[in-house]
């Protein structure tokens, strides 16, 4: 048995045993007084939800306990394959996006490898005003050093197939000119050395079809944004390490900050339009997971490397923007149910689809567990918690262990190997982890409601589409927060009222869920504020920004101060054509 299969088996067994054992204990307690059919239903719900909870925690613990993989260090040489760095954009801020490209370009020049990398900005912008600005700022960008013949811009009039279609359009027109393509998002930023190393890895391994980095969220300003950034910088690498150990050569692709072998991608990843209408039919929304599965199906290696630092992105700064993005991902993941049985896929690819679906289905299942528990509590002889109060504590402790064990393990590991020093020391990091746990616990009921609503909408056949991400949206006014979450307030209040009326003994256990739900508008607004005190949730990148981060900041500041020069009309001497 190979090592990844052994680790997967152990992890699956732990999750299965823990969830079956937990469900059995749960059933024993709730069915102690005259079991009813509701008890069986609740036990099944407990089994389904706790399996994925334990599975996630196990991945983190495996990653935290694993030996640190050796990263690649030393100078970077020019790779033999030519790489196209693709930047698909859709109604973004062009000055910000193009300043990132300029910074990456200068970083590649500093490494002495720039001539092996071209940049292709692939615009699907539908706003004519934004498209006009893109043209203006592109003229500013091509004045950067060594940009002639290396920096290109293309805008599609119709964004057929959205981002996947955008990349496919590039490959079908220009793909044969490149060995590799580094696919980015508009908010991606990568160190030149990291980009170089990724291309060298592709040179060195002819079977490597895709190499994915673990992007770190940077430039977060609000409490919510900083929470996400801290989690991605401090905790995610270990979860990713656990994932990588299990997935090995059938790894994930997250759609950005990853390099692909163009010939492999072109031959294997042409996505069809699924039969039927959205949300389950039509263009594949979450195309990245499918492309990874197709590459693995064709025999290519798909690897995740958490040791490759220097890979950054920006994240949503408030819960509303997060929820919009999450809605899109939810629809994309649920659409994958059509593909679980697709011909020829590897087992782990199919499991990854199921995992992605359950990441969202778990929320309505937890909600259903809550509702059935309240219904059961209305039955006169079903007051099992009165005689078995200790059972509630045992179950609560078990859930807490599943949630907290990976984070505590990571904290202890960081103290032992010195990683906590990069984040300001163990005490500061411990406070950060505690803060992350506290804030996540407060926000969890709101996320539960939002995800359950998203799943319900999709199950009812409502297509959420692909709303543009508003990356510069930070502060959420109370009125906006209330408009977005009044139904969560009502849900929390009704739940609490029913519990008080039917099962007063359960009320203390429901407060951690109902109180945050009732306070949803306040929490949404408060977490969208920018804190004056920034030592909490501080990350290594914030304490010591990398060269490319400082470059991008300087370039963006200069550009926005000076403004772009207006381009001359007509044909340029270097052959660029203006519309």
Partner 1 sequence: MKHQGLEFISGLPDAPLAMPKQVLERRRTSMFGALRAMIAAFPRFSA
Alpha-carbon gap, residue 3 to 236, rounded angstroms: 22
Q: Is 74 in the site for partner 1 (CB under 8 A)?
A: no
Closest CA to 447 of 357, 320, 355: 320
Among 156, 383, 388, 470, binds partner 1 (CB under 8 A): 156
Q: Which stretch binds partner 1 (CB under 8 A): 41-49, 94-102, 155-163, 206-214?
A: 155-163
* 311: CB partners within 8 A, 6+ apart: 188, 190, 191, 194, 213, 214, 215, 216, 257
User: Tokens standing for 257?
Assistant: 């900050």
525-551 burial string, b = 16+ CB within 10 Å, else e? Answer: bbbbeeeeeeebbbbbbbeebbebbeb
Among 143, 173, 325, 475, binds partner 1 (CB under 8 A): 173
User: Tokens standing for 466?
Assistant: 């692909």
Alpha-carbon gap, residue 247 to 64, rounded angstroms: 16
Q: How near is the Cβ of 574 to partner 1 at its closest, in Å?
A: 8
Q: How near is the Cβ of 125 to partner 1 at its closest, in Å?
A: 10
Among 33, 152, 307, 547, binds partner 1 (CB under 8 A): 152
Q: Which stretch binds partner 1 (CB under 8 A): 262-270, 383-391, 471-479, 547-555?
A: 262-270
Among 267, 354, 401, 522, binds partner 1 (CB under 8 A): 267
418 backbone φψ class: left, alpha, beta (φ>0; ψ -120 to 50)? left
Q: Which stretch binds partner 1 (CB under 8 A): 99-107, 172-180, 195-203, 366-374?
A: 172-180
Among 113, 218, 290, 334, binds partner 1 (CB under 8 A): 290
Q: Which stretch binds partner 1 (CB under 8 A): 96-104, 265-273, 301-309, 502-510?
A: 265-273
Q: Which stretch binds partner 1 (CB under 8 A): 224-232, 271-279, 372-380, 508-516?
A: 271-279
Among 52, 90, 117, 153, binds partner 1 (CB under 8 A): 153
Is 489 in contact with 445 (CB distance < 8 Å)? Answer: no
Q: Which is nearer to partner 1, 66 or 263 (CB)?
A: 263
Long-range Cβ pairs for the range 154-160 (8 Å, 24+): 154/120, 154/121, 154/122, 154/123, 155/123, 155/124, 155/125, 155/131, 156/122, 156/123, 156/124, 159/90, 159/124, 159/126
Q: Is 294 in the site for partner 1 (CB under 8 A)?
A: yes
Among 217, 262, 320, 358, binds partner 1 (CB under 8 A): 262
* 11: CB partners within 8 A, 6+ apart: 55, 58, 59, 62, 242, 246
Q: How near is the Cβ of 551 to partner 1 at its closest, in Å?
A: 23
User: Tokens standing for 270?
Assistant: 């042409």
Q: Is 278 in the site for partner 1 (CB under 8 A)?
A: no
Q: How near is the Cβ of 303 to partner 1 at its closest, in Å?
A: 21
Q: Is 573 in the site for partner 1 (CB under 8 A)?
A: no
Q: How near is the Cβ of 152 to partner 1 at its closest, in Å?
A: 5
Q: Is 181 in the site for partner 1 (CB under 8 A)?
A: no
Q: Name the 3-class secondary structure at 182.
A: strand
Is 291 in contact with 322 (CB distance < 8 Å)? Answer: no
Q: Is 155 in the site for partner 1 (CB under 8 A)?
A: yes
Is 189 in contact with 552 (CB distance < 8 Å)? Answer: yes
Among 12, 25, 266, 391, binds partner 1 (CB under 8 A): 266
Alpha-carbon gap, residue 207 to 302, rounded angstroms: 9
Q: Which is nearer to partner 1, 188 or 268 (CB)?
A: 268
Q: How near is the Cβ of 564 to partner 1 at its closest, in Å?
A: 15
Residue-by-residue DSSP string for 86-125: EEEESS--HHHHHHHHHHHHHHHHHHT-GGGEEEEEEE--
Among 172, 378, 441, 560, binds partner 1 (CB under 8 A): 172
Q: Is 275 in the site for partner 1 (CB under 8 A)?
A: yes
Q: Which stretch binds partner 1 (CB under 8 A): 25-33, 338-346, 371-379, 540-548?
A: 338-346
Alpha-carbon gap, residue 41 to 38, rounded angstroms: 5
Q: Is 101 in the site for partner 1 (CB under 8 A)?
A: no
Alpha-carbon gap, residue 441 to 452, rounded angstroms: 17
Q: What is the CA radius of gyration of the chain?
A: 25
Mask of contacts with partner 1, 15-54, x by CB under 8 A?
----------------------------------------
Q: Is 271 in the site for partner 1 (CB under 8 A)?
A: yes
Q: Is 210 in the site for partner 1 (CB under 8 A)?
A: no
Backbone phi and psi for residue 244, each to the nearest 5 degrees, phi listed first? -60, -40
The residue whose two tokens read 């079977």 is: 207
Q: Is 350 in the site for partner 1 (CB under 8 A)?
A: no
* 17: CB partners within 8 A, 6+ apart: none
Q: Is 260 in the site for partner 1 (CB under 8 A)?
A: no
Q: Is 85 in the site for partner 1 (CB under 8 A)?
A: no
Q: Which is nearer to partner 1, 130 or 447 (CB)?
A: 130
Strand ranges across the sheet with 311-313: 189-190, 311-313, 216-217
Q: Is 339 in the site for partner 1 (CB under 8 A)?
A: yes
447-485 burial string, b = 16+ CB within 10 Å, else e? Answer: bbbbbbbbbebbeeeeebebeebbbeebebeeebbbebb
Q: Is 168 in the site for partner 1 (CB under 8 A)?
A: yes
The footprint of partner 1 (CB under 8 A) covers 120, 123, 131, 135, 138, 149, 152-158, 168, 170-178, 262-263, 265-272, 274-275, 290, 294, 338-339, 341-343, 575-579
């Amino acid at each position: 048995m190979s090592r990844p299969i052994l680790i997967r088996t152990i992890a699956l067994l732990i999750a299965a045993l823990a969830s079956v054992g937990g469900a059995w204990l749960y059933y024993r307690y709730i069915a102690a007084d005259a079991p009813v059919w509701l008890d069986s239903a609740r036990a099944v719900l407990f089994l389904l939800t706790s399996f994925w909870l334990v599975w996630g925690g196990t991945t983190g613990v495996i990653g935290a306990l694993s030996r640190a993989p050796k990263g690649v260090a030393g100078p970077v040489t020019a790779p033999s394959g030519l790489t196209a760095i693709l930047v698909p954009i859709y109604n973004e801020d062009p000055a910000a996006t193009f300043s990132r490209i300029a910074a990456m370009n200068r970083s590649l020049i500093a490494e002495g490898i720039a001539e092996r990398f071209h940049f292709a900005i692939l615009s699907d912008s539908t706003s004519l005003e934004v498209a006009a600005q893109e043209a203006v700022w592109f003229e500013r960008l091509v004045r950067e050093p060594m940009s002639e013949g290396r920096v290109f811009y293309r805008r599609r009039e119709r964004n057929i197939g959205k981002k996947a279609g955008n990349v496919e359009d590039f490959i079908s027109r220009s793909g044969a000119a490149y060995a590799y393509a580094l696919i980015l998002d508009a908010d991606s930023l990568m160190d030149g050395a990291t980009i170089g190393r990724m291309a060298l890895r592709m040179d060195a391994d002819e079977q490597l079809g895709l190499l994915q980095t673990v992007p770190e969220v940077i430039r977060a300003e609000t409490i919510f944004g900083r929470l996400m950034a801290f989690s991605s910088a401090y905790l995610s690498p270990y979860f990713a390490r656990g994932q990588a150990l299990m997935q090995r050569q059938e790894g994930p692709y997250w759609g950005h900050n990853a390099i692909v072998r163009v010939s492999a991608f072109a031959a294997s990843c042409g996505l069809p339009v699924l039969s039927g209408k959205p949300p389950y039919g039509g263009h594949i929304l979450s195309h990245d997971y499918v492309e990874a599965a197709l590459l693995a199906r064709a025999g290519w290696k798909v690897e995740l490397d958490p040791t490759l630092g220097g890979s950054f992105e920006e994240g949503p700064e408030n819960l509303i923007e997060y929820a919009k993005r999450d809605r899109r991902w939810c629809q994309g993941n649920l659409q994958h149910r059509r593909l679980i049985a697709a011909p020829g896929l590897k087992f782990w690819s199919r499991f990854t689809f199921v995992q992605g679906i359950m990441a969202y289905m778990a929320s309505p299942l937890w909600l259903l567990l809550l509702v059935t528990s309240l219904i059961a509590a209305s039955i006169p002889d079903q007051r099992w918690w009165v005689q078995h109060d200790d059972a509630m504590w045992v179950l609560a402790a078990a859930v807490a262990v599943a949630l907290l064990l990976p984070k505590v393990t990571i904290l202890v590991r960081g103290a032992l190997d010195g990683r906590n020093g990069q984040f300001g020391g163990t005490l500061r990091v411990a406070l950060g982890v505690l803060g992350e746990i506290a804030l996540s616990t407060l926000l969890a009921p709101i996320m539960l409601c939002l995800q359950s609503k998203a799943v319900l909408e999709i199950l009812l056949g409502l297509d959420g589409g692909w709303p543009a991400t508003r990356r510069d949206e930070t502060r959420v006014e109370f009125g906006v927060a209330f408009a977005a979450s009044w139904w969560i307030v009502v849900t929390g209040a009704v739940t609490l009222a029913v519990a008080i009326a039917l099962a007063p003994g359960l009320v203390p256990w429901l407060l951690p869920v109902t109180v945050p739900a009732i306070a949803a508008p306040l929490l949404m607004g408060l977490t969208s504020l920018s804190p004056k005190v920034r030592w909490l949730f501080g990350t290594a990148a914030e304490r010591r920004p990398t060269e490319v981060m400082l470059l991008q900041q300087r370039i963006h500041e200069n550009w926005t101060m000076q403004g772009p020069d207006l381009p001359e009309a007509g044909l340029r001497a270097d052959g660029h054509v203006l519309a």
